[in-house]
Amino acid sequence: MARRWQLPERLADAIAFHHDVDQSAADLNLLLIVQAADTIANTAAVDDCPPDLLRFHPLAQEVMGNCLADIAEWYPQTQDEITSACRFFLDS
């Protein structure tokens, strides 16, 4: 659908491959960030604990640096925001 909408290739790849990272994506960094965000959002929906670092693609930790290493510190603050966004988009 992203390609049909003529979204930029790098964004279409991030959408298409965020569940199964393809290292040949047009913008691997963007793809890894989207994959990490998806993992965080999906974890927030079912668990109060931050996602295990093993759930992220190994390259994501390289791209995102200490952001993922420090997830236990900032994750609790994101849960309310994620829950609110889910209500807005899914309950409308």
pLDDT in tens, 4-22: 999 999 999 999 999 999 9
Cα 26 to the chain's mean position, in Å?
Answer: 17
At residue 84, does pLDDT exceed 80?
Answer: yes
Contacts of 17 (CB under 8 A, 6+ apart): 25, 31, 35
Q: What is the pLDDT of residue 77?
A: 83
Q: What is the pLDDT of residue 63?
A: 87
Q: Give the whole-angstrom CA distance, residue 86 versus residue 91.
A: 8
Helix, strand, or coil (residue 87):
helix
Q: What is the pLDDT of residue 44?
A: 78
pLDDT in tens, 31-70: 999 999 999 888 877 777 888 888 899 999 888 888 888 8
- The percent of residues above 70 in pLDDT, for the chain, comes to 99
Q: What is the pLDDT of residue 92?
A: 60
